Amino acid sequence: MNGLGGLNKSPNGVVIGLVQLQLPNVVTSADLAMQTERIVWMVGKARRNLSTMDLVVFPEYSLHGLSMDTNPEIMCRLDGPEVAAFKKACLDNKIWGCFSIMEFNPHGNPYNSGLIIDDHGEIKLYYRKLHPWIPVEPWEPGDIGIPVIEGPRGAKIALIICHDGMFPEMARECAYKGAEIMIRTAGYTAPIREAWRFTNQANSFQNLMITANVCMCGSDGSFDSMGEGMIVNFDGTVLAHGTTGRADEIITAEVRPDLVREARINWGVENNIYQLWHRGYVAVKGGAMDCPYTFMQDMVAGTFRLPWEDQVKVTDGTSCGFPAPTRMFGKTAKAAE
């Protein structure tokens, strides 16, 4: 059930609205200011649209568009005017909001960051995209992990961004840290439509987790984003799906985190996130409780290497017009010193 898109809200329900925002073309600081005003207006529309809505979600690139421009003039800061405007919009409309910014990084390329702001105008979640969509995106890889917060009505919420959702490890990490609802914001275009749909459903089912997923929508004159707002229940059932591609439409549904908790505790068959560590518990007490996965062991050891590693052709962003990087990342940089 989804309570007729949230019109009939149950005592334990959380109503989510996914904004299939019109894809903008942002080049200057003036463009950025105008798009900020547009998003603020859409927060108000969300509240007017549905008085029961708890959380309104804007897609990745909703503020900056898809140009991949790293011009410092249009990069944002957490203490900047754009974030301040989003905070005020959430406070004024008494609604939680999820927003996307391209964040200035004084030490390298900008971060692709996401924020969840509560209905008092406070930042409750701050996330940096772990897996930029390479080789197309120039953003610095995230370095703060995946935070999980207590959101509206006590729901445990995580946020990942676009390409993150193509890695099953990302959704599993969200669930492992307690997320009952995983938000996935994106700027994807039509060639990714089918992969978008089945990964959203798989991310939900494999982790007994609700997912709320939305892309930008419409054209900026060069790119065509697809909308495709999808709210998926913990069993993989699609509760709401924006298939019309109509820009600025808000896709809504009521979700039930309490039923997620119930399933995670009571399911036997297909309780996969529990069974990952307790494989074969019918045959051996408690299950095997080992790590039989070589790739996990090798990642921890810093020795991950594909059998076809030396044959991979695209290993930097030069094919998309970006210079080959020379700077190392985090622990890798320290190890090379």
d(CA 67, CA 75): 13
Encoding tokens for residue 181? 């609802």
3-class DSSP state for residue 194?
helix
User: What is the identity of the amino acid at 104?
Assistant: F
207-226: string of b/e by CB count within 10 Å (b at 16+)? bbbbbbbbbbbbebeebbbb
- Strand-pair category, 55-57 with 14-20: parallel
Say which residue the tokens 């772990």 belong to. 130
Residue 231: strand pairing partners:
212, 240
Which residues carry out catalysis?
60, 129, 162
- Strand-pair category, 148-150 with 123-128: unpaired
H helices present in the chain, as ranges: 3-6, 29-49, 81-93, 168-176, 193-207, 257-266, 272-275, 294-301, 330-336
Residue 99: strand pairing partners:
115
Domains of the chain: residue spans and CATH: 3-268 (3.60.110.10), 304-336 (no CATH)
Instruction: Give CA separation, 76 vs 18, 29, 63, 102, in Å.
Output: 23, 10, 10, 6
For 165, counting Cβ atoms within 10 Å of its Cβ (0-12 exposed, 13-18 middle, 19+ buried), the class is buried
pLDDT tens string, the chain, 337 residues long: the values are 567 899 999 999 999 999 999 999 999 999 999 999 999 999 999 999 999 999 999 999 999 999 999 999 999 999 999 999 999 999 999 999 999 999 999 999 999 999 999 999 999 999 999 999 999 999 999 999 999 999 999 999 999 999 999 999 999 999 999 999 999 999 999 999 999 999 999 999 999 999 999 999 999 999 999 999 999 999 999 999 998 889 999 999 999 999 999 999 999 999 999 999 999 999 999 999 999 999 999 999 999 999 999 999 999 999 999 999 999 998 665 555 5
Closest residue by Cα to residue 142 from 84, 177, 179, 102: 102
For 169, counting Cβ atoms within 10 Å of its Cβ (0-12 exposed, 13-18 middle, 19+ buried), the class is middle
pLDDT score at 65: 97
Closest residue by Cα to residue 327 from 58, 92, 141, 84: 141
Terminal-to-terminal C-alpha distance of the chain = 56
Encoding tokens for residue 108? 């390298």
d(CA 325, CA 315): 11
pLDDT score at 3: 75
H helices present in 192-288, as ranges: 193-207, 257-266, 272-275
User: What is the identity of the amino acid at 270?
Assistant: E
| Bond into 135 cis (ω within 30) | yes
Neighbours of 30 (CB within 10 A): 11
The three state secondary structure string of 178-191 is CCCEEEEEECCEHH
Residue 240: strand pairing partners:
231
